[in-house]
Amino acid sequence: DSFTRCFKSNSPEPWNWNIYLLPLWSLTLLVGWIAFFAAFFHVNFLLKGKKLRSKIERWLVEMMCSVFVASWTGVIKYHGPRPSTRPRQVFVANHTSMIDFIILEQMTAFAVIMQKHPGWVGFIQKTILESVGCIWFNCNDLKDREVVAKRVLLSLAAPYAQ
């Protein structure tokens, strides 16, 4: 198009990413992560009672997800009765994004079956979401399908651990 070649698009300057807000944002992020990991460390290594430890870990996961939602200035409104966790109960949400997962987790800590990710998402999966009882799989490994199916059946057969 000959008309649009005459114009050059200017990328908008971000209003919230400047030299004044960067130190505050970095400090807030650092303090938040240090606080959550310190809490998980203390709960994981110092508490020996499995029932109390599991309850505190689930509460910490809910709080962390609530902080994520609040950082997006999100307000979540639930319509109807909120789902409660019961023994041998399965919620199915196929092809759920990380944002959907965080919104669900901030209501109550659900154990989910999810793809194993590399990098920082994998680090969060391994250190934090392991306490909820999540099951991971690798899409590229066909044997993982059988392993995941066995783990799901075992977790459904096991008594409710809360």
Query: Measuring CA to CA, which residue among 100, 105, 99, 91 is closest to residue 59?
Result: 105
Provide φ and ψ at 137, rounded to 5°.
Answer: -140, 160
Q: Please name the residues in contact with 40: beta carbons below 8 A apart, sequence gap of 6 or more.
A: 57, 60, 127, 128, 131
CB contact at 8 A, 128 and 64: yes
Query: What are the residue boundaries of the structural domains of the chain, listed by start?
Result: 17-75+85-157
Nearest to 98 by CA among 59, 141, 129, 77: 129
Q: What is the pLDDT of residue 92?
A: 67
Residues forming a β-bridge with 115: 137
Q: How many CB atoms lie within 10 A of CB 90?
A: 10
**What distance in Å separates the CA atoms of residue 107 and residue 42, rounded to the nearest whole number?**
23
- 26: its two tokens: 């970095």
Q: 106-132 pLDDT, tens per residue?
A: 888 887 888 888 888 888 888 778 778
- On the question of pLDDT at 160 being above 70, the answer is no
Q: How far apart are CA 10 and CA 32, in angstroms?
A: 35
Confidence of residue 15 (pLDDT cuts 50, 70, 90): low
